[in-house]
Amino acid sequence: MTLAPQRQTGAAPQPSTAASEPRRRPGAGAYPWAMSGAVAVAVIGAAVSLNGVLRGWAWFLPVLTTILVVSLTMAGLRALRAQPLLVTLGGFVSLLFILIFTFFRRDSIAGFIPSDATMTSLGRHLRRASETVLSESSPVAPNAGIVLVTCAALGLVVILIDALALPLGMPATSGLGLLAVLVVPAMIKPQSVGLAGFLGTATGFLLILACSQWFAPDARVQADTARNPGQIKRAAMTGAVALVATLVLQLVIPGFDQGTFPQGSRLNPWASSSGLNPMISLGNSLRRPSGDGRITYATNATTPLYLRSVTVDRFDGEAWSPDDRNSSRRTGPGRMEVGHEMLAPEQVRQVTVVNTGDFTSPYLPVPYAPEAVNGLTGRWSWDPATLSIRGTDTNSRNQQYLVRSSAPKLTTELLDGSSAPVRGIPDEFIRPPANVPEVVRTTADSVTSDSRTAYEKAMAIQRYLRGGAFTYSLESPVQGGYDGNGLSVLADFLTQKSGYCIHFASAMAVMARVEGIPSRIAVGYAPGRLTGATVSVAGQGALPEFEVDARDAHAWPELYFQGLGWVPFEPTPSRGQVPPYAQDSSSGGASTNDGTNDGLLPTNGATPPPATTPDPLPLPGGGEARAGNQTVAMLYGAAGGLLLVLIATAPRMVRTGLRSRRLRGPAARTGQAAAPLAWAELRDLATDYGVRPLPSETPRAFSARLSSSPALRPAPHPNAPDARAPRSSGHLEAETAVHGLTTAFERHQYGRPAAAGPAGTAASPDPRAAQEIAVVRKALRRNAGLLGRLRAEWLPPSVMSRWGSLAGAPFRAVARGVARAGKAAAGSWTRARDGLRRLREG
């Protein structure tokens, strides 16, 4: 009952469309502005959630101007009653102009007209952006390239939403565009989209829906909302499907089963090497409370043992990554040697047996400094400068090996006495980074102002970092937007004074470099826990077994002292164990951790459920897999999933779209083409339910066949005469509907053209066709079996055969061409033969 008035209001303006066009012109009024405003609000809301993917807020202003300029341009064009295509085109042009104006003002003509220089500059920006995306972890620095890409993407989203909501008349579908924006933070940021972003997006989306309802200039969009009484049912269905999809999808997509989307393991459920930047994955490994990537080792060492995978020694650039000197790598870790002079009077030799289990990385975790590694399978190579061991054709999964390592027995005196100038190591360990932030330099200078020797300086820095001013926190870098690495992150860290091992280690390494001490960052594992078991090792007897897992992932600085080699320090409070030579005489063992790693877990108490997938610790990336990045991979994954869903639902969506366009499109409403459109729909409908129209059939013959077919006329049940009555009434209704559609089509198709389109019939919108189609559809659905119904709705034969014939068209054309060529060849051969024969005879 509630339908009637709405339908009337919807239909009322329709009859006067042609006549009232000029009169309504000034009345475009608020509608375009309101719609564009709503779109802008939605997109801005979605953009807010990008904070955390991009660091800080500096990027927001250009994004804001882009969105506003594009949406206002489109609103203005629409207010001038431009063609929808023109409006969209205008959106693109305005996007282009505002992007050029924002980013390439100096490289373009008059500030917004692109020129050669603009293109060059654009190439540079895009290169920068792709480098950032490939190499950095979130949050990335908002450099011009990234912001440009963001602005362009959001501008396109504005145009997309606008196109969906207005000319295409699918305001609800426009949420797809917003989703495209929200997916990025949802996948990348640990705290997901965030409340502000979500609220902003939702508000904007609701505004879009509301505006299209309130302001819709014609009945088309308005009528959408109250088209039929099945609305609630359909809404419930949609909701249920969405719910199921969200529940199922997250199981299907690897990595979704945890709240904070651990990076690196995603799309990589089979635990092959992920080739990621160790600096990126380290923080995530630490935040993961489950014990993945468990490694056990047994050692005869008396001091706690750090297992080291890789080093980071170049501190330039936006992001740091392990430096692979591929050219200088040597094969065979059976015998390794340090590349520098070693003057320490006493060497401590250790034997360690490591079992890597399912820990997967191209790099091998070994105690420093390895002299020989035996028992490995596959081919391995080692870098003389850093002694990192990497598989050339294999990885660390399920390796058991014996490492013989030796380290000088270091004492405070030895270190303090090592004052000889540094030589014999590559320059890249010595050279301070080019653009050290001021805060790092000043901090380093002030901390080490009282120190004379290198050792004192190192101790001063370590003391400064371990002191009470800094707190160990896995969360604050994320919240503060400086989770990651790089010099700018370091600056943030020194200001915020909160972070975890990567920050402490890099702070100490960079500050030491600044102060002239060669340094590098080692990445690996802090000493683990005793398992209580023992492992018997040949020649060593039973050795106690230790275990480490992802939670023990660690980074620490190594400083070079001439004659003593690389000396590890421990600047991270509450982590690892401070070696004896680096302990302050004053604070002594107070800060020494007892080795149980109690302080490892984040203190926020909220413990996400343990991961169910075996999750390898994605440690250092090899050269062959460097290009891979989890963000890109994730986006590909999401896109792939969406694509699959799209492919699965495409036939149905195409079919539904076709139907609604035929029955409720403007052409159907003006009445000019309503009958043939409805007829085409009837034919397709019948095709879907197995009554395929024959090409030689007249409309009447087809409709007669349809009416008498079992698809529409069910065989009466012999045992249930009472069940026949309602059935036959529905069937009669459907038959009448088919007859009505046929008659209307015949009149249109074969009748006098003057009679088909007089003003009287054309002006009144004819809802009959849609109703009749609905009746027929209902009857067909009722009579079809479950399979038939499913096929008709999800794989409609009408759509499938059309696609099939489309797909076959090129082949048919080729076949025709071949046949024609064959015929021509045969003809010319016959002619030639005849000519020859005639020649011979004549």
Partner 1 sequence: MEPHRRTRMDEEIVPGGKGFAERAAHGGNQLNGHKPGPLGPQAFRAASERILSAINTVIDGKAEAAKLALTVLLAQGHLLLEDVPGVGKTLLAKTLARTIDCSVSRIQFTPDLLPSDVTGVSIYNQSSRQFEFRPGAVFANVVIGDEINRASAKTQSALLECMEEHQVTVDGHSYKLAEPFMVVATQNPIEMEGTYPLPEAQRDRFMARISMGYPDKESEIEMLETHQATSPLARVTSVVTSADVAAMIATVQQVYVSQSVKEYTVAVGRATRDSAMLRLGASPRSMLQLLRAAKATAALDGRDFVLPDDVVAVAESVLAHRIILDRKAVSTGETPQSVIRGVLAKLPVSQEMTESVHASRQARAAELRPSR
Question: Does 749 participate in binding partner 1 (rule CB under 8 A)?
Answer: yes
User: Looking at 207, 298, 501, 668, which residue binds partner 1 (CB under 8 A)?
Assistant: 668
Question: Does 802 participate in binding partner 1 (rule CB under 8 A)?
Answer: no
3-state secondary structure 629-653: CHHHHHHHHHHHHHHHHHHHHHHHH
Q: Which residues, 6 or more positions from 521, have their beta carbon under 8 angstroms from its beta carbon? A: 311, 312, 313, 320, 502, 505, 506, 509, 555, 556, 557, 558
Only one of the segments 83-91, 259-267, 327-335, 587-595 lies at the binding site for partner 1 (rule: CB under 8 A); that segment is: 83-91
CB-wise, 88 or 258, nearer to partner 1? 88
Burial 419-450 (b: 16+ CB within 10 A, else e): eeebeebbeebbebbeebbeebeebbeebbee
Minimum gap (Å) between residue 103 Cβ and partner 1: 33
User: Looking at 428, 475, 733, 746, which residue binds partner 1 (CB under 8 A)?
Assistant: 746
Burial 18-57 (b: 16+ CB within 10 A, else e): eeeeeebeeeeeebbbbbbbbbbbbbbbbbbbbbbbbbbe
Report the C-alpha gap between 159 and 169 in whole angstroms.
14
CB-wise, 227 or 747, nearer to partner 1? 747
Question: Does 679 participate in binding partner 1 (rule CB under 8 A)?
Answer: yes
Number of shown-chain residues binding partner 1 (CB under 8 A): 45
Only one of the segments 252-260, 461-469, 689-697, 716-724 lies at the binding site for partner 1 (rule: CB under 8 A); that segment is: 689-697
Report the C-alpha gap between 706 and 690 in whole angstroms.
10
Question: Does 114 participate in binding partner 1 (rule CB under 8 A)?
Answer: no
Question: Does 662 participate in binding partner 1 (rule CB under 8 A)?
Answer: yes
Residues 249-308 that bind partner 1 (CB under 8 A): none
Only one of the segments 93-101, 242-250, 344-352, 661-669 lies at the binding site for partner 1 (rule: CB under 8 A); that segment is: 661-669
Question: Does 698 participate in binding partner 1 (rule CB under 8 A)?
Answer: yes
Minimum gap (Å) between residue 172 Cβ and partner 1: 17
Q: What angle do CA 504, 410, 348 make, to 5 degrees?
A: 110
CB-wise, 695 or 718, nearer to partner 1? 695
3-state secondary structure 684-736: HHHHHCCCCCCCCCCHHHHHHHHHHCCCCCCCCCCCCHHHHHHHHHHHHHHHH
User: Looking at 8, 9, 29, 83, which residue binds partner 1 (CB under 8 A)?
Assistant: 83
Identify which of 190, 322, 316 has the alpha carbon closest to the alpha carbon of residue 264.
Answer: 190
Residues 405-464 that bind partner 1 (CB under 8 A): none
CB-wise, 172 or 199, nearer to partner 1? 172
CB-wise, 63 or 219, nearer to partner 1? 219
CB-wise, 342 or 800, nearer to partner 1? 800
Minimum gap (Å) between residue 75 Cβ and partner 1: 14
Burial 566-586 (b: 16+ CB within 10 A, else e): bbbbbbbbebbbbbebbbeee
Question: Does 767 participate in binding partner 1 (rule CB under 8 A)?
Answer: no
Burial group, residue 381, by CB count within 10 angstroms (0-12, 13-18, 19+)? middle
Question: Does 705 participate in binding partner 1 (rule CB under 8 A)?
Answer: no
Kindly state the helix (H) or strand (E) to which residue 481 belongs, with its residue range. Answer: none
Backbone angles phi, psi at 295, to 5 degrees: -120, 135
Q: Could you please report the per-residue DSSP string of 417-430?
A: H--SPP-SS-GGGT
Question: Does 84 participate in binding partner 1 (rule CB under 8 A)?
Answer: yes
Only one of the segments 154-162, 350-358, 562-570, 750-758 lies at the binding site for partner 1 (rule: CB under 8 A); that segment is: 750-758
User: Looking at 3, 68, 79, 82, which residue binds partner 1 (CB under 8 A)?
Assistant: 82
Q: Could you please report the per-residue DSSP string of 449-460?
A: TT--SHHHHHHH
Minimum gap (Å) between residue 11 Cβ and partner 1: 13
CB-wise, 167 or 384, nearer to partner 1? 167
Question: Does 17 participate in binding partner 1 (rule CB under 8 A)?
Answer: yes
Question: Does 24 participate in binding partner 1 (rule CB under 8 A)?
Answer: yes
Q: Which residues, 6 or more positions from 5, have their beta carbon under 8 angstroms from its beta carbon? A: none
Question: Does 81 participate in binding partner 1 (rule CB under 8 A)?
Answer: yes
Kindly state the helix (H) or strand (E) to which residue 330 belongs, with its residue range. Answer: strand 330-331
Cis amide bond preceding 608, omega within 30: no
Question: Does 21 participate in binding partner 1 (rule CB under 8 A)?
Answer: yes
Q: How many residues does the chain have?
A: 842
Question: Does 697 participate in binding partner 1 (rule CB under 8 A)?
Answer: yes
Q: Helix, strand, or coil here: 307?
A: strand
Minimum gap (Å) between residue 24 Cβ and partner 1: 7
Residues 214-243 that bind partner 1 (CB under 8 A): 217-218, 220
Question: Does 752 participate in binding partner 1 (rule CB under 8 A)?
Answer: yes
Q: Helix, strand, or coil here: 679?
A: helix
Question: Does 673 participate in binding partner 1 (rule CB under 8 A)?
Answer: yes
The two tokens of residue 762 are: 């054309």
Question: Does 79 participate in binding partner 1 (rule CB under 8 A)?
Answer: no
The two tokens of residue 333 are: 């870790």
The two tokens of residue 767 are: 């809802």
Pair 593, 577: CB distance under 8 Å: yes
Question: Does 699 participate in binding partner 1 (rule CB under 8 A)?
Answer: yes
CB-wise, 669 or 731, nearer to partner 1? 669
User: Looking at 76, 676, 714, 767, which residue binds partner 1 (CB under 8 A)?
Assistant: 676
Pair 550, 523: CB distance under 8 Å: no
Only one of the segments 15-23, 105-113, 531-539, 544-552 lies at the binding site for partner 1 (rule: CB under 8 A); that segment is: 15-23
Question: Does 696 participate in binding partner 1 (rule CB under 8 A)?
Answer: yes
User: Looking at 56, 516, 751, 788, which residue binds partner 1 (CB under 8 A)?
Assistant: 751
Binding residues vs partner 1 (CB under 8 A): 13, 17, 20-21, 24, 81-85, 166-169, 217-218, 220, 661-662, 665-668, 670, 672-673, 676-677, 679-680, 695-701, 746-747, 749-753, 755
